[in-house]
Amino acid sequence: MNQKRQQIPIPKKNVLFLFIFSALLGVMIISQAYFIVAIIDSIFLKGVSFSTVLPMLGLLLLIMAGRVLFQYVNRRIGVQMAADVKQAFRRSLFHTAARSSFHSSFTSQSGKKVSTVTDVVDETDSYYSQYIPQIIQTSLIPFLLLLVVFTQHVHSGLILLITAPFIPIFMVIVGLQTKKKSEEQLDQLSAFSGSFLDALQGLTTLKLYGQTERQKKKMETSSLRFRDATMEILKIAFTNSFMLEVITMLGIGIVALELAIELVIYESLSFFTAFFILILVPEFYTSLKELGTAFHNGRSSLGAVKKIEEERTEEVSMWGKETLSIMDRPPLIETENISFTYGEKRFSLEHMNIHIPPYQQVAIVGRSGSGKSTLLHLLAGLIVPTEGQVKVEGRRLLDYEENEWFRHLSYISQHPYIFSGTIAENIVIGTDREVTKKDIEEAAERSGFAEVVRDLPKGYETAVGEGGRGLSGGEMQRLALARAFLKRPSVIMFDEPTNGLDVKTEQILKKSMNELRKSATVITVAHRLHTVQEADKILFLDHGRLIAAGIHEELLNRVEGYREMVLIERGGANG
Amino acid sequence: MKNLFHTMKVMKREKKDIVISIMAGFVAGVTAVGLFGASGYLISKSALAPPLYALIVVTSLVKLLGFIRAGSRYAERYFSHRATFTVLSHLRVSFFEKLEPLAPTIFQSYKSGDLLARIVGDIESLQHYFLRVFYPPIVAMMVFLATMLFTSFYSIYVAAILVIGLFLTTCLVPAYYTIKQQKKAPEVRRKRGVLSTEVTEFLYGFRDLKIYHKLGEKETRLGVASNEYVQEQKSASLNLISGQSLHTFVSLFITWLVLSIGAYLVSTNQLDGIWLAMLVLISLTVFEEVGAMATFPMYLQESQDAAGRLSAFMKTEDREGRQKNETDSMPPLSEPLSIEMDHVTFQFPDSSRPVIQEMTLSISSGQKIAIVGPSGSGKSTLLQLILNIYDATEGEVRLNDLSVKNWKKERIWKNTKVVLQDNHFFHGTVKDNLQLAADRVRDDEMVSALEKVSLHSFSLEQPVYEKGANLSGGEKQRLAIARAMLKPGRLWLLDEPVSSVDAWTTKQVYHQLFEEASQDTLLLVSHRLAGLEMMDKIIVMDKGRIIEAGAYDELLDRKGYFYEMVQIEKNLF
């Protein structure tokens, strides 16, 4: 089991660059202030001529360009980092997913997984493109500014030092308050968030029942209630920034007053220094405030990172390296006391011992929820038993190389998956061999799929699947059979369709299976009487347990549950 | 911009809040400029050793401005957000109103919930329109104009430079990057679509991919799709940040110009040196105040896209036209409806084969008819033609000898008890969902309806999640039948109403159903044949045509298609 979690670290090289460019940016901010002050000082107080300040003006323009440039480079590094990390996240998600085993519940969560791969990964973007550059920038620049202010004028530096901590402290306090408040309002919020979608999805029902007016009113009130709940939370945030502005204002005000007093009364300060500090002080507070905003943004992205980590730690199945020697007969399949549990007692299969010699026709029978499909998945190696072993040719199934086993296996599910591509491509997917067009046509002919193809203007080149032509249930079954005819497997696992298909497809299904089974072991989750009647062995399951095994007549006589299900409820409950 | 017209119209209803937020924004901006201007003046003045009282006046002014600014910023945020959320609520209602006449047709063409989720998302993203697109430029303009007016007292040149700056930072630069962004956005979306399709295929086809040993190949393709998407996103982000950088540079450059011109004017004695620091600080601040304009292209793009999609969606589906909602004034029909179809053909606009072909059929008032056949044979479409959800491509559907075209849709629906294949249940209780059936339904009626569909264990107060997610397929179907039972009407249209219900319960439910409908016309679509013995007539359809029709026993005797179907079903368990 290789379950090592590879942490995706914050790229160190990028961080180093960010530090360097942030420091340069800080230097630029300070120099910009310096030169603005120097120019005004020269012109206003020293009364020098315009041409004397020209070099300084030129330098200032360069510094401004430098400031923009370094800021740009910083952001660019952030964007690059975000792109790299997103790609790495996705790669590792795909990697994990491609190696994970198949859960019977897999498809039910597909929507969530698609959103993990697309949206949730995208949510991490701002963490790397904004948060990290911002945090580096704002952890560096205020200190630089403070340092400069201290060198210029200790009193002002002290004022900054005293007022500054109020900003982060305040942000933390208000942040906690907001969190508490939003938790209180959470019910209100979550109740609303889906209700608009709910109303839209139910529009047909609402219309057929003539209830749209009522729903509209309901929506309006809940929408306004949602607004009020949101405003409650926002108000805290706004008060927060109000207080921050006040702190900043007070800070700047105190500094300004103190500068003015020293300038006028004690005359202990030059205009140059005072003005220089006055320009630096707002920059100082602004970057502190940005730090708080960055923290806020970063927290929401962190949630996304956590979600991705959860996905990536899903269990991974591991196949061995053994080859399954080429045989002229199907392999022997056995299970040794296999059990499978899924979730908290939500589903389980208990201690099954099954022996399937070559060419045997096995029917798995049971009510819905009895574990038929799970057993089939276990035998196919799509899921791994929690206890016991599936053995093929006397060796652990998982000791073989994955493809060694799947090469011999065809799995025809109730809803075969049609990939986007042409019909020909969809048939060829069944095999690793090089196949000719003739092989494809022959397989289609034998599976009865050829007559479907004949009706299509583009024939085998017709696009199907996502964005292509849809296929009906019967047509999909026939396509799956065509795949099997092309592959010529020695083991066929077949989840028989539960609903009655059309008469034609039923006939084809029966005929095709009769032909395929000549050269293969067939294990069927059976829903048809003739399948169980013709089976060499029936496995009758109930509540995850193997109740009985034997042929049809034997079970009819011996097992009451079987008799009830097959004969009494026949033509009734499906699935 | 045309697409955003509707949003603007809705916004107009919140005029008061909008005006307040604009005014507050203006005050906040102007006071910030004033604040820094004043401190620049203060510091210059101090250098000239003025009387102390002058300093105190200016300092107090600075303080006062500071508090006004903080206060008006608060007001701006409060009112603008309140307006936004109110507008959002109006938008939801107004889109709901616009969508309403389009249902249920749109739900046929877009089966997936994705589309609806996107509509919801698009409406949500319109909230940025007011907050980040509509009013920031107005506030920016106003602050600028006021600043210009103020500076023009000191130097007309400086004011002129600020005009140029205003034009560059609020018009030219955002416009340029908006256009560039507009070119990038569709490509980003397209790549995202490709990735999401690939991922969906990967997940749904997982079992088959694994068995066919194509997972590795697919993984590579996913990596490529993701990389293309990421690169496209990156190039869009780079476009945005270069826009922001250019914006900053222009602002700084304008300040530099102000400083240069100011310095020149002072050195040539055209301007009193005491104002120089003030003018430079004003210029620095005013551009900071319009900093929001840097993100303008992004949000404009987003709002336009959202509005564009919404209005395109509304337009393509708007062929229905709006019908007056007169349902309340129409009493239910007292007699069960009769149905006739006269050489009806129906074909979806984008398909090559008609779903219904040349169908002629007559169902007299009070008859019980079953329609059977393989999937894709056109059974459900037939019901939708009767409900006038679709118009027949050729031929005519008549209810009570009157063409459905001459019926108000609402009138047909009001008189029909429909159970669709996909019945929607709303977040709430069982009672909430049953109460949809009619305006006044008594509790005991609801309880008895639940009993009739063998949902004895259900209580009225039992919670139902969105889409009935906490109910099993069979429970949902039976709850839908109960709801239909409570609804007035004399025509039953049932589309596979019990396909997920077990045989024994089906028998019970059918029994109750036929008792309820004994005097009504009833059309039942089913692929299951057991229990159809009591129907007056069974119509067997295949590929959009009627291939057999008759009573159950008659059809069995004929040993045709229906007989074969019965044989197959007997074989199933």
- Average pLDDT for residues A493-521, to the nearest whole number? 85
Are both B531 and B402 inside the same structural domain? yes
How many Å apart are CA B517 and CA A16, to the nearest integer?
78
- Cβ contacts below 8 Å, chain A against chain B, sum to 414
Are both B467 and B519 inside the same structural domain? yes
Q: Which of B293, B291, B26, B283 is nearest to B157 (CA)?
A: B283
**Residue B346: pLDDT over 60:** yes
- Of B349 and B71, the structure prediction assigns the larger pLDDT to B71
User: What residue spans in chain A does CATH classification 3.40.50.300 cover?
Assistant: 333-408+489-569
**Residues B281-293: pLDDT tens digits?**
899 888 887 777 7
8 Å CB contact of B116 and A201: yes
Are both B278 and B361 inside the same structural domain? no
Distance from CA of A351 to the nearest CA of B (A): 25
8 Å CB contact of A498 and B572: yes
How many Å apart are CA A278 and CA B285, to the nearest integer?
13
For residue B383, tell me if it sits in a domain: yes
Give contacts of A 83-142 with B, CB under 8 A: 83, 86-87, 90-91, 94-95, 97-98, 102, 106-107, 110, 113-114, 117-118, 122, 125, 129
> What beta strand segments (E) does A317-385 contain?
333-342, 347-356, 361-366
Nearest to B199 among A102, A114, A204 (CB): A114
Q: Which of A521, A139, A191 is nearest to A329 (CA)?
A: A521
Are both B371 and B508 inside the same structural domain? yes
Are both B279 and B405 inside the same structural domain? no
**Residue B255: pLDDT over 50:** yes
8 Å CB contact of B506 and A572: yes
User: Which of B266, B293, B311 is where one domain is finished?
Assistant: B311
8 Å CB contact of B208 and A203: no
**Residue B136: pLDDT over 70:** yes
Does residue A43 belong to the interface with chain B, where contact is any CB pair within 8 Å?
yes
Chain A residue closest to B56 (CA)?
A257
Are both B403 and B440 inside the same structural domain? yes
For residue B122, tell me if it sits in a domain: yes
Chain A residue closest to B260 (CA)?
A57
For residue B321, tell me if it sits in a domain: no
A333-408+489-569 has which fold?
Rossmann fold (3.40.50)
pLDDT at A104: 42
Q: Per the structure block, which two tokens stand in for B250?
A: 């222009």
Are both B353 and B267 inside the same structural domain? no
Phi first, then psi, for residue B269 (nearest 5°) are 60, 25
Give the highest mean pLDDT range of A112-126, A498-512, B94-108, B352-366: B352-366
Mutate which: A204, A319, A458, A568, vs B, most B CBs within 10 A: A204
Give contacts of B 533-572 with A, CB under 8 A: 542, 561, 564-565, 568-572
DSSP B297-334: HHHHHHHHHHHHHHHHHHHHTGGG------GGGSPPPS
Residues of A in contact with B169 (CB under 8 A): none
Are both B279 and B346 inside the same structural domain? no
Does residue B69 belong to the interface with chain A, where contact is any CB pair within 8 Å?
yes
**Residues A328-382: pLDDT tens digits?**
889 999 999 898 886 655 567 888 899 999 999 999 998 877 888 889 988 988 8
Token pair 């900053």 is found at B248
**Residues A425-441: pLDDT tens digits?**
889 887 778 888 999 99
A340 close to A386: Cβ distance less than 8 angstroms: yes
How many Å apart are CA A407 and CA A211, to the nearest integer?
56
Domain extent at residue B358: 339-572
Task: Give the right CATH number for A3-312 from 2.60.40.10, 3.90.25.10, 1.20.1560.10, 1.10.540.10.
Answer: 1.20.1560.10
DSSP B121-168: HHHHHTHHIIIIIIHHHHHHHHHHHHHHHHHHTT-HHHHHHHHHHHHI
Domain count, chain B: 2
B108 close to B393: Cβ distance less than 8 angstroms: no
Are both B236 and B194 inside the same structural domain? yes
Residues of B in contact with A231 (CB under 8 A): 78, 81-82, 85
For residue B345, tell me if it sits in a domain: yes
Are both B346 and B225 inside the same structural domain? no
For residue B446, tell me if it sits in a domain: yes
8 Å CB contact of A231 and B85: yes
For residue B534, tell me if it sits in a domain: yes
8 Å CB contact of A430 and B212: yes
What CATH number does the domain containing B155 carry?
1.20.1560.10
For residue B160, tell me if it sits in a domain: yes
Distance from CA of B568 to the nearest CA of A (A): 7
How many Å apart are CA B339 and CA B388, to the nearest integer?
12
**Residue A326: pLDDT over 80:** no
For residue B423, tell me if it sits in a domain: yes
How many Å apart are CA A545 and CA A542, to the nearest integer?
5
ipTM above 0.90, yes or no: no
pLDDT at B553: 92
What CATH number does the domain containing B512 carry?
3.40.50.300
Residues of A in contact with B467 (CB under 8 A): 198, 201
User: What residue spans in chain A does CATH classification 1.20.1560.10 cover?
Assistant: 3-312
Are both B267 and B388 inside the same structural domain? no
Q: How far from the centroid of its chain's Cα atoms is residue A14's Cα?
A: 26
Residues of A in contact with B39 (CB under 8 A): 252, 256, 278
pLDDT at A314: 59
Does residue A278 belong to the interface with chain B, where contact is any CB pair within 8 Å?
yes
Q: Which of A4, A8, A11 is nearest to A121 (CA)?
A: A8
8 Å CB contact of B116 and A246: no
Strand partners, A332: none
Does residue B317 belong to the interface with chain A, where contact is any CB pair within 8 Å?
no
8 Å CB contact of B274 and A44: yes
Chain A residue closest to B230 (CA)?
A83
pLDDT at A226: 81
> What beta strand segments (E) does B460-502 contain?
463-464, 491-495
